[in-house]
Amino acid sequence: MHAIDGQSSDIINLVTLLYDAIWHDETVPIPVKELIGRTQITILKIALQDSTFFDTDDHPVRVLINELATAGISWTNFDKLEHDPMYRKMQELVERLIGEYESDSELIEVLIQDFRSFKQAQRLETEEEEVRFKDADERENRLEEINSYAHAKITDRILDKNISPIISNFLETFFRKFVVQVILREGPGGISWKPVMNTIDVLLWTVQNEKGEGDIERYRKVNPRLMVNLGKALELAGVEKEEADAALKELRQVQEQSFKPRSSSEAVSTDKGGELVGEEGEKVSAIESSIEILPDDDEHLLEVSNYPIGIWLEFQAGAEHSIRCTLAARIDTIDKYIFVNGQGVKVVEIFRMGLAGELKAGTVKVISEAPLIDRAMESVIGKLRDTQAQVDEDLGTEIELAPK
């Protein structure tokens, strides 16, 4: 046994602090923390051999750990993770890193490439349905599948189980024909896809029972254009004009009914933007309270206004339930944000003001800012600075008290 030199001792302490910071990072799911925690001894060996680990953002080992943390970002339900292909792959990579690493940095590069290839294959697998519809001739031969695909995409947009049968029938019977035509013409994900999905979201907003301040003015502004778009959609879908007019008339009646004041026995609290949907598809009510109107210069309102598409947030729904989802769309006409889960299914729709209120109340948080290792390093540096400041302060006090 040889005495540990000062530099090695510092590296050991830094790695210990680093993994402590990772464990206390609230944005990382516990299963990911446990997997990363198993790599601590191996990472310590690497750091002792290569001190650039702490200074180089794109160091292979840092890249690998960040990849692992990002892959599990959407996990909130851990009961069935052992059957999750992504989790099993992450386990495999960690076991290979621990068991095979000696001093060969090439192994790390191989593991990174293996993981990225796996994730790409997973993405392609989930997109396979869309890929099958890219070719025009193929689309014509798969009309039944396209109908099922259109039905699934429309159903994904509906969060309210108690939606009016008139609205669900309109979407399924008439609007689905239009969605099928869009897919036949452009394929999924074409230039018209996002506006079509936004049209569904705006329609669903106009008939929801819970109303907030300013909704009636917003409705009067956007609904004429919405009805024109729906009329054009039914025309392109080949719906007879008389039938289309009757369907739109019924739809307007539901809209008007949803804006009528209800008796006190029927009244419900206005929530901050809708419902949350759990991992198994069950509905979970959002926090119910009136939306607080924040000033235009409120820091929380300014923050959510700058959220980019693709940012990941975690919504707290009760004491033991949370949902992680990513911002998929902003509908400026009704000032609403649409969030989807890791499978692309809509799980949260919320007004910008409501989201800012949730942020202010601490019931939602951003979980995808800096990479995990960068966040952990910043935490370690902050602790070291605080410790040094305290040492300097204590030393100064001792000097003042020392007898002359």
pLDDT tens string 294-326: 888 889 899 999 888 888 888 886 666 778 888
Instruction: Report the range of poorest mean pLDDT among 74-83, 263-272, 350-359, 388-397.
Output: 263-272
Evaluate whether residue 118 is within a structural domain.
Answer: yes
- Same domain, residue pair 172 and 215: yes
Q: Which residues pair with 261 in a beta bridge?
A: none
Which H or E run includes 217?
helix 215-236
**Among 213, 228, 258, where does a domain finish?**
258
Residues 330 and 387 in one domain: no
Strands 283-285 and 275-277: antiparallel
171 with 218, same domain: the answer is: yes
Q: What is the pLDDT of residues 364-390, one digit of tens each?
A: 888 765 677 877 877 788 777 777 676
Which residues are CB-contacts of 60 (< 8 A; sequence separation ≥ 6)?
105, 108, 109, 112
Q: Considering the domain boundaries, does residue 54 fall inside one? A: yes
- Evaluate whether residue 248 is within a structural domain: yes
With a CB cutoff of 8 Å and minimum separation 6, the contacts of 231 are 244, 248
pLDDT for 125-180, tens place per residue?
Answer: 766 655 555 555 555 667 888 888 899 889 888 888 788 999 999 999 899 999 98
Statement to judge: residues 135 and 242 lie in one domain: yes
Task: Judge if 184 and 208 occupy the same domain.
Answer: yes
The answer to whether residues 154 and 187 belong to one domain is yes
Q: Answer yes or no: is 399 within a domain.
A: no
pTM above 0.85, yes or no: no
SS3 state at 376: helix
Give the chain's domain count.
3
Residue type, 241: K
Residue 106 sits in the same domain as residue 152: no
The tens digit of pLDDT for each residue in 205-216 reads 898 877 766 788
Residue after which a domain boundary falls, among 215, 232, 258: 258
* Residue 268 located in a structural domain: no
For residue 300, the enclosing domain spans 275-366
Kindly state the tokens that stand for 389: 């400041």
Query: What percent of the residues of the chain are helix, what percent strand, and what percent coil, each to the nearest 5?
Result: 60, 10, 30
Is 265 within a domain?
Answer: no
Residues 205 and 285 in one domain: no
On whether both 29 and 108 belong to a single domain, the answer is yes
For residue 263, tell me if it sits in a domain. no
Specify whether 117 is located in the same domain as 222: no
Reading the block at residue 399, the tokens are 């000097």
